C-alpha cells in the first residue's frame, strides 16, 4: 500500500506518517508540501493508492488543490485530513470528489478506520459531522456538475483565470499558443454556461471557503 501525505507543515506530516506506520507497518509513504509537488509525485509514482490532503495550505485557495488533484489523477482517491470541522466544508469537499474527510483532531483509531474504509472503496465522514443538518438547496450542485465536465487542462486554465491571469500569461505558464488558451476559455465558458471571465470568477467564488465566500467562515 502506497500513500501520499500532502501538507505544508513538516511536523504534521511527520506525526501523520508515524500514526500511519503504526497502523499499517508495510505502507510505503510519500510526502509533498504543496499541490505542485503532490502532482509531481503522483505523476512519477504510478502505484500510489491514496492521497491524504490538507485543504488549508499556503498558496492554495479553497478547494483548488482538491479539484486540481482530482482532475489530473481521478483514479487516486483523496482523503481530506483537515483542521477545519465545518460540516458544510466537508460536504463541499465530498462534492468536489473527496472520498473521505477527517478532522486533524481525531484519534488514531478513527484515522485508521478512515484510511481502511476509503481504501476499500467506501466514503468516510465522521458521524458527528455527517449528522449535521443539511444546508438549504442552492446553485452549488448544478455548478459542481458543470465543473466536472472540464478536462484537466481546462481546469488549469480555470484556476489561472480565477487568479486574474491574462491569456498571454496563461499561455506562457502552460507553454501553449494564445489561440489554444482562447479555445480553452471558450470551452470553459460553454461548459460552465456563463458569458464572461468575470462571471466565471463570480460563479466559482464559493470554492474559496477560506476567504469567507458562500457563508463559510474564514479559516
Report the 10 Å Cβ neighbour count for 107: 9
Place of cell 488558451: 181
CA distance 9 to 12: 5
pLDDT at 192: 85
Per-position DSSP letters for 85-141, written without gaps between them: --HHHHHHHHHTT-SEEEETTS-HHHHHHHHHHHHTT--B--HHHHTSPPPPP-SHH
CA distance 90 to 17: 23
Residue 52 — φ and ψ, nearest 5°? -105, 115
pLDDT at 129: 62
pLDDT at 51: 95
C-alpha cell at 45: 509514482
**Edge to edge, what strands does the sheet with 100-103 contain?**
28-32, 2-6, 50-53, 78-82, 100-103
CA distances from 115 to 23, 51, 63 (A): 10, 10, 21
Across the chain, which has 219 residues, the per-10-residue mean pLDDT values are 92 90 93 92 92 85 84 90 82 85 88 92 78 47 74 88 88 91 90 81 64 39
pLDDT at 39: 93
CA distance 17 to 111: 12
Amino acid at each position: 500500500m502506497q500513500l501520499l501525505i500532502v501538507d505544508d507543515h513538516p511536523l504534521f506530516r511527520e506525526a501523520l506518517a508515524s500514526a500511519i506506520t503504526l497502523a499499517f507497518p508495510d505502507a510505503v509513504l510519500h510526502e509533498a508540501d504543496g499541490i505542485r509537488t503532490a502532482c509531481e509525485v503522483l505523476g512519477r509514482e504510478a502505484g500510489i493508492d491514496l492521497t491524504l490532503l490538507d485543504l488549508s495550505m499556503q498558496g492554495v485557495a479553497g478547494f483548488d488543490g482538491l479539484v486540481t488533484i482530482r482532475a489530473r489523477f481521478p483514479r487516486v482517491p483523496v482523503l481530506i485530513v483537515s483542521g477545519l470541522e465545518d460540516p458544510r466544508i466537508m460536504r463541499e469537499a465530498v462534492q468536489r470528489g473527496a472520498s473521505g474527510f477527517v478532522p486533524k483532531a481525531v484519534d488514531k483509531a478513527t484515522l485508521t478506520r478512515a484510511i481502511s474504509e476509503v481504501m476499500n472503496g467506501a466514503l468516510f465522514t465522521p458521524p458527528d459531522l455527517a449528522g449535521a443538518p443539511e444546508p438549504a438547496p442552492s446553485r452549488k450542485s448544478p455548478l459542481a456538475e458543470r465543473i466536472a465536465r472540464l478536462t484537466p487542462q481546462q481546469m488549469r486554465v480555470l484556476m489561472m483565470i480565477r487568479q486574474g491571469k491574462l491569456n498571454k500569461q496563461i499561455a506562457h505558464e502552460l507553454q501553449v499558443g494564445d489561440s489554444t488558451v482562447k479555445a480553452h476559455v471558450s470551452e470553459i465558458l460553454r461548459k460552465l454556461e456563463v458569458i464572461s471571465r468575470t462571471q466565471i470568477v463570480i460563479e466559482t467564488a464559493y470554492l474559496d471557503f477560506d476567504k469567507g465566500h458562500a457563508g463559510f467562515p474564514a479559516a
